Amino acid sequence: MKAVIQRVNHASVTVDGQVTSSIRKGLLVLLGITASDTREDSIWLSKKILNLRIFNDDKGIMNHSLLDIDGEVIIVSQFTLMASTKKGNRPSYIKAANAEIAVPLYTQFIEDIEMELGKKAGTGIFGADMKIDLQNDGPVTIVIDTEFKQ
């Protein structure tokens, strides 16, 4: 699993002109899933994201996690995170999991986040053409890949 995590002042997801999710202060998580990803990857990544100390304390130092600030989260599936650009100019998405593998893991990841966070996560719609609107705070953008968790 690969996640691009953006600290946001607000974010929303729109599909077919309808807002499916919106949040205030929190995290926008773009999530890519490979065929080799597992339940353990979901557990590890969800805990890592929720405990990242990337929110400012009262001294302006990034010392608080999403849990500490009682923030919100939107999780959006994004197979293009698995793109390989090694050869040529057309990205290859062969590493991206197909829907039979990706949907259950995406759903499980959302559930893992919600259980630890104690509230619902906003989401996009898997496989849909989504429009993401956000105000990146900082900007703070972090990439985490479970391939390198060891």
- Residue in 14, 34, 80, 107 annotated catalytic: 80
Phi-psi sector, 146: left (phi>0), alpha (psi -120 to 50), beta: alpha
Q: Is 80 a catalytic residue?
A: yes
Give 16's DSSP letter.
T
Return d(Cα 144, Cα 104) in angstroms, integer.
20
Q: Based on the number of CB atoms within 10 Å of its own CB, is 24 exposed (0-12), middle (13-18) or buried (19 or more)?
A: exposed
77, β-bridge pairs: 31
Q: Which residues are catalytic?
A: 80
